[in-house]
Structure 1
Amino acid sequence: MSLTTRFLLGFAVVATVGLSLLFTQLIHRVERQYFEAVEEPMVDVANILAEVIAADAEDDRINPQVVEKAVRAAQARELNAQIYNLHKTRVDMQVYVTNAYGQVLFDSAGIERPGMASNHRDVNLTLMGEYGARSSRASPRDPLSIVMYVGAPIRRGGRIIGMVSVAKPQRGVLGFVWETERWLKWSIITTVMLMLLGIYMAARWATRPLEVLTQHALAVSRGERSTPPHMPGRQMKTLAKALEDMRDALEGREYVEHYVQSLTHELKSPVAAILGAGEILQGDVPEPKRARFLQNIRNEAARLRDLLERLLHLAAIEKQKKLEAKEAVDLAVVLDRAWDHLALVALAKEVRLEREVKGELVVQGDPWLLELAVGNLLQNAIDFAPKGSAITVRLYRFDTKVVCEIDDAGPGIPEYARERVFERFYSLPRPDSGKKSTGLGLCFVKEVALLHGGSAELANREGAAGARAMLILPG
């Protein structure tokens, strides 16, 4: 599981739990405040009606007709009140009145018949001089049929002679509550989604350097030449430097071990030949044989010198992670220099050199390294080309790349060697002599190509004998 996914999941869990608790508390608080806002004016209305009824009472006898006329007249009115999203068209508040014994004198809703004794909570508490209020459902199956009742005592001469209770259906209020609940729910969901998007972008931004550093480490583990990435922040820079130092230490150790083993193997043959020839020359050897053994010593010594020079070149370039300085290099000029160095070698082997140069062939790089790389490819083609054949060198631009392509008419690459031709110290026997080279030339070419952001390829030609080597560089 990626770090980004971990961030998202962790935040989603925390945000969901936290906002769920907040949502529950908000809904409870909103519902309570809506009911408080409704109940507070009902208390005023109930007490006003109680004073109106008390003023009209005679000998402690309540006359509910004054309230009845007012309520009926108000309920007959046609209203056109737009209260935000609620369109109110009629008065829906109800009123009922009882005497001091709880007997119903008047009920505008028609629920309680006159003369019936009421035992509702609002009636009992109000007649006892306490605050009486209750909420009841008009229909047990309808959750929107809740009706709120608020009572007020009717006093005359300091005594309670009855009570009046105003009733307000809460269907409209619950509509407000549920609308607010829906608004809160979608607001919270939208907020969570935006926060998740924000945390995703922040997590991507925070983990991007780690991802780049991981890709760099994977490329190094695959043996690829990878430039250390630029890291933001002190901690990331420290981590990148520590990783690079560890890489250099491990590569240096493996590099030395591999080179010591490979070099030891490559040096055995020429050293053994020189020692053998030296022992023979210590005895009485005829002049023709002496000359032949001396020539063998010179040849093997030259082979050792060539091996050491190539190793020094390869070691120098393998230590570089990137080119320190780049300049504009015309690949045609590079080919001319390599061509001049190897023209006599090709002439001695009776091999013709042909060239085809097309277009502007300027690349950014190191001219000396590029000359060595082109020279190695050309030398390799001369080594495998049969006498009387031609080697064709083509320089051309393909899309955004500059390509150096060299064809020879030799035996080509055996199937078993195709995957190994660029390995260090791997070499195939030359057709004319049967001898192998140092096996470092093509490895050097590959390292130069990678250092310049390009690639090197070697494959058999299609439809013709021989091999085709390609050095591909960004133009």
Structure 2
Amino acid sequence: MTVRTRILLIFLVTLGSGFFVLERWLSLELRPRYYQSFEEPLVDMANILAEIAAPEFNQAAPRFDKLQAALTHVYARQVNADIYGLKKNDVDIRIYITDRAGTVLFDSYQLDVGKNFAGWRDVSRTLQGQYGARSSPNDKRMHGIEQRESNSIAYIAAPIYRGNDIIGVLSVGKPKVTVSHFIMAAREDLLWTVLGVTVLVIAIATMLYLWVSRPLYQAAQFAERIAAGEPVSVPDLGRNEIGTVVNAIDAMRKALDGKNYIEKYTQTLAHELKSPLTSIKASAELLLEEMPAAQRQRFIQNIQSENDRALNLIQRLLELAALENRQGSIEAQTVPLAELLDEIGGSLQGTLERRSVSLNLDNPITFSVQGERFLIRQALFNAIDNAIDFSPDAGRIHISGYADEDWLVVSIRDHGTGIPDYARERIFERFYSLPRPANRGRSSGLGLNFVKEVMELHQGRVELVSHDNGTEARLKFPQRG
């Protein structure tokens, strides 16, 4: 798992945990706050009704006919109230009154008159001069706090005084189903709000994370491609810490490449130039001696040949060095291949006539490719020049172009000896070359390597295919949509 993935997972887990804790805390705080707002008006009602009921205790046998009649009419009312989504159609308040012994003297539901409620918490605590309240479930079979609370009745009691003496208790009962409705609705709204905010925050945070981590990912990819030795351009990551690191890596890469480049090419050039220089030196020393004119002419030609070989090697090394110094950048333009091949054919006319080799264009190449004209010309030139080297005198070279799936292909085929099996894996290696037919020596071994570098720089490829009577070089350029 990558570092950026771990950071994202830790961030999401932390964020989700935080919102979960927030939701649980709000839910736990929500319930008592709603019950406070539910219980507080019942306290007021109980105390008001206690004062109204107090005069009835002046009689030897208190009667509450007027209160019962009023409540009977109240229970028959059609309220038709819409309270924030709660449809309320009737009054569900229950009132009962006890004497100082806890005996029920009045019950608005007319269920428990004559029973002793002295043991009930609302009555017993009120008779003791304390705040009396209780909650009793309608159905004792209910399980879970939410079921019990939503199916229970809250009773709030108030003392009935004669002077300073408590002579009775009035309790007001109210089902909790209404407040439970509000709690559940509020919790649902809260849950959806928290969920919506969580999703929004996660989306924004993820976008912010990607915005911040993408440059880090690009920097890692840049470093990996450098380590793999691939040609790569410096990504533009802006003026920030990551951009500074990438620029520093690129500067370090250039410094190391420059050092390695000089060391490598100095060694290579010294090694490759040693042979022609040794030959020139030996021929020059022999020319100082007396010898027949024909032999002298042969040594002079050898000096010229080895000098040309050394100059060709230096030229190819310079071309390859210039190519590698581009570091993946090219000046892209539309390059018509037919025009380019005509130009190359003109440049090689002298060589073709000297060897009596003919260039045959099997079919007109009508397509163009995207890239740098100079480099594509050099690649095609090297490929055709290589085909000429391996063609027999008076041979033919066939050039054709065609589209192949995602590629635009230029095919260059000679009728030489082909590629030996032992050389197939090394044919594109730098400084690796095969002997030319008719004892024409070897090349610098840089031509095909140069072609490969140019094609890779253009996101293309080069392939050498051996046939029974020759070799085919296929230069594949990517088709641009």
TM-score (norm 2): 0.88
How many Å separate the matches in 2 of 1:383 and 1:111? 120
Hey, what does 1:457 align to over in structure 2?
Answer: 462
Q: 1:403-459 deviations in whole A, cap 9, x for unaligned? A: 4331111222334433433322122222322632101112222333344x2424132
Hey, what does 1:470 align to over in structure 2?
Answer: 475
Hey, what does 2:172 align to over in structure 1?
Answer: 166
Hey, what does 1:5 align to over in structure 2?
Answer: 5
Hey, what does 1:99 align to over in structure 2?
Answer: 99
1:145 and 2:155 aligned = no
The amino acid that maps onto 2:106 is F
Hey, what does 2:388 align to over in structure 1?
Answer: 382
Q: How big is the shift at 1:329? A: 4.2
1:81 and 2:81 aligned = yes
How many Å separate the matches in 2 of 1:21 and 1:243? 44
Hey, what does 2:145 align to over in structure 1?
Answer: none
Is the CA contact (8 Å cut-off) linking 1:146 and 1:170 kept in structure 2? yes
- The alpha-carbon distance between structure 1 residues 284 and 111, as it changes in their structure 2 partners (threshold 3 A), is farther
Is the CA contact (8 Å cut-off) linking 2:382 and 2:447 kept in structure 1? yes
Q: How big is the shift at 1:313? A: 1.5
Q: How big is the shift at 1:367? A: 3.7
The amino acid that maps onto 1:455 is G
How many Å separate the matches in 2 of 1:60 and 1:252? 117
The answer to which of 35-44 and 351-360 deviates more is 351-360
Q: How big is the shift at 1:151? A: 0.9
Hey, what does 2:21 align to over in structure 1?
Answer: 21
Is the CA contact (8 Å cut-off) linking 2:365 and 2:400 kept in structure 1? no
The answer to which of 68-77 and 220-229 deviates more is 68-77
Hey, what does 1:251 align to over in structure 2?
Answer: 257
The answer to which of 359-368 and 387-396 deviates more is 359-368
The DSSP-based 3-state class of the residue aligned with 1:96 is strand
The answer to which of 361-370 and 332-341 deviates more is 361-370
1:222 and 2:228 aligned = yes
The DSSP-based 3-state class of the residue aligned with 2:438 is coil
The answer to which of 323-332 and 439-448 deviates more is 323-332
Unaligned runs of 5+ in 2: 143-147
The amino acid that maps onto 1:114 is G
Q: How big is the shift at 1:472? A: 2.4
Hey, what does 1:431 align to over in structure 2?
Answer: 437
The DSSP-based 3-state class of the residue aligned with 1:466 is strand
Is the CA contact (8 Å cut-off) linking 1:46 and 1:151 kept in structure 2? yes
**After the TM superposition, which residues 244-283 of structure 1 pair with which residues of structure 2 at under 5 Å, given as runs?**
244-283=250-289
Hey, what does 1:63 align to over in structure 2?
Answer: 63
Hey, what does 2:310 align to over in structure 1?
Answer: 304
The answer to which of 40-49 and 133-142 deviates more is 133-142
Q: How big is the shift at 1:247? A: 1.7
How many Å separate the matches in 2 of 1:460 and 1:96? 107
**After the TM superposition, which residues 342-361 of structure 1 pair with which residues of structure 2 at under 5 Å, given as runs?**
342-356=348-362, 358=364, 360-361=366-367
Out of 241, 250, 269, the position equivalent to 1:235 is 241
Is the CA contact (8 Å cut-off) linking 2:415 and 2:471 kept in structure 1? yes
Q: How big is the shift at 1:315? A: 0.9
- The alpha-carbon distance between structure 1 residues 392 and 440, as it changes in their structure 2 partners (threshold 3 A), is same
How many Å separate the matches in 2 of 1:407 and 1:158? 123
The DSSP-based 3-state class of the residue aligned with 1:371 is helix
The amino acid that maps onto 1:153 is P
The answer to which of 85-94 and 371-380 deviates more is 85-94
- The alpha-carbon distance between structure 1 residues 448 and 136, as it changes in their structure 2 partners (threshold 3 A), is same
Unaligned runs of 5+ in 1: none
The amino acid that maps onto 1:469 is R
How many Å separate the matches in 1 of 2:332 and 2:196? 53
Hey, what does 1:38 align to over in structure 2?
Answer: 38
1:441 and 2:412 aligned = no
Hey, what does 2:217 align to over in structure 1?
Answer: 211
The DSSP-based 3-state class of the residue aligned with 1:57 is helix
Is the CA contact (8 Å cut-off) linking 1:93 and 1:166 kept in structure 2? yes
The amino acid that maps onto 1:88 is K
How many Å separate the matches in 2 of 1:215 and 1:281? 60
The amino acid that maps onto 1:457 is V
How many Å separate the matches in 2 of 1:404 and 1:177? 77
Q: How big is the shift at 1:174? A: 1.7
Q: 1:27-48 deviations in whole A, cap 9, x for unaligned? A: 1222122112211221222122
- The alpha-carbon distance between structure 1 residues 4 and 73, as it changes in their structure 2 partners (threshold 3 A), is farther
Hey, what does 1:48 align to over in structure 2?
Answer: 48
How many Å separate the matches in 2 of 1:89 and 1:434? 113
How many Å separate the matches in 2 of 1:106 and 1:21? 48
Q: 1:74-131 deviations in whole A, cap 9, x for unaligned? A: 3344554343443334332211111123222233456755152512232233233333
Hey, what does 1:185 align to over in structure 2?
Answer: 191
Q: 1:283-309 deviations in whole A, cap 9, x for unaligned? A: 554443333233222211211111011
Hey, what does 2:414 align to over in structure 1?
Answer: 408
The amino acid that maps onto 2:244 is T
Is the CA contact (8 Å cut-off) linking 2:418 and 2:468 kept in structure 1? no
How many Å separate the matches in 1 of 2:290 and 2:338? 55
Q: 1:244-281 deviations in whole A, cap 9, x for unaligned? A: 11221222233233323333332232233233334444
The DSSP-based 3-state class of the residue aligned with 2:444 is coil
How many Å separate the matches in 2 of 1:341 and 1:20? 77
Q: How big is the shift at 1:357? A: 6.2
- The alpha-carbon distance between structure 1 residues 203 and 417, as it changes in their structure 2 partners (threshold 3 A), is farther
Is the CA contact (8 Å cut-off) linking 1:127 and 1:162 kept in structure 2? yes
The DSSP-based 3-state class of the residue aligned with 1:228 is coil
Hey, what does 1:124 align to over in structure 2?
Answer: 124
How many Å separate the matches in 1 of 2:35 and 2:241? 56
Is the CA contact (8 Å cut-off) linking 2:330 and 2:371 kept in structure 1? no
The answer to which of 197-206 and 358-367 deviates more is 358-367
The amino acid that maps onto 2:171 is S
Out of 194, 203, 216, the position equivalent to 1:197 is 203
CA-atom RMSD in angstroms? 2.9
